[in-house]
């Protein structure tokens, strides 16, 4: 088991998650661009980890990057996510994981020139998230 607050076996994760959710969240897969339910969503609310429910991002941190996945310029707080060097696919990137359960969320890119307060783009798979609309709508 790991050092995460939420610890489950691979079998437990497989029982709780759909095959696509398991592939992205637990095997660090990626959903196809422009297919996720939150890519163009502008609903106000809080985005949480689909695997464990931990709050990760807020809608006021989301922006339209036109990259094919939901993009955020900052995490809810610095403790919500962990950043890990990813050298897969012959490149160096920064993987974003849920700090509560270790699930893969996406990648962080910096210095791309987006007009955001942080010049960062958290490129997150929709399937890694659930959206709780403001006011419980």
Q: Is the pLDDT of residue 104 over 90?
A: yes
Is 19 a domain residue? yes
On whether residue 62 sits in a domain, the answer given is: yes
**Considering only 69-73, 79-83, 100-104, 124-128, which range has the smallest mean pLDDT?**
79-83
Q: Is residue 4 part of a domain?
A: no
Q: Can you give the residue range of the structural domain that contains 73?
A: 10-136
Q: Where are the beta strands (DSSP E) in the chain?
A: 45-49, 55-58, 62-63, 71-72, 81-86, 93-98, 104-110, 120-124, 129-133
Say if 82 falls within a structural domain. Answer: yes
Q: Distance between CA 114 and CA 21 in Å, rounded?
A: 29
Question: Exactly one of 49, 98, 101, 123 is catalytic; which is it?
Answer: 123
Whether residue 34 has pLDDT greater than 90: yes
pLDDT at residue 75 in the model: 86
Stretch among 62-71, 78-87, 103-112 having the lowest mean pLDDT: 78-87
Could you tell me the two tokens for 66? 């036109």
Residue 2 inside a domain? The answer is: no
Identify whether 3 is part of a domain.
Answer: no
- Count, residues in the chain: 137
pLDDT at 56 over 60: yes
Residue at 5 is within a domain:
no
CATH number of the domain that 130 lies in? Answer: 2.170.150.20
Q: Is 67 a catalytic residue?
A: no
Residues 10-32 have pLDDT tens digits of 999 999 999 999 999 999 999 99
Number of domains, the chain: 1
pLDDT at residue 97 tops 80: yes
Region 107-124: mean pLDDT is 94
């Amino acid at each position: 088991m790991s050092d995460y607050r939420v610890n489950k076996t691979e079998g437990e994760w497989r029982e709780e998650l759909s095959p696509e959710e398991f592939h992205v969240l637990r095997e660090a897969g990626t959903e196809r661009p422009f297919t996720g339910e939150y890519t163009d969503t502008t609903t106000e609310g809080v985005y949480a980890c689909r695997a464990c429910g931990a709050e990760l991002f807020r809608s006021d941190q989301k922006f339209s990057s036109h990259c094919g996945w939901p993009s955020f310029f900052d995490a809810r707080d610095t403790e919500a996510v962990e950043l890990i060097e990813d050298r897969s696919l012959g490149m160096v990137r920064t993987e974003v994981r849920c700090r509560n359960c270790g699930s893969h969320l996406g990648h962080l890119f910096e210095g791309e020139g987006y007009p955001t307060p942080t010049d960062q783009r958290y490129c997150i798979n929709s399937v890694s998230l659930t959206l709780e609309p403001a006011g419980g709508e």
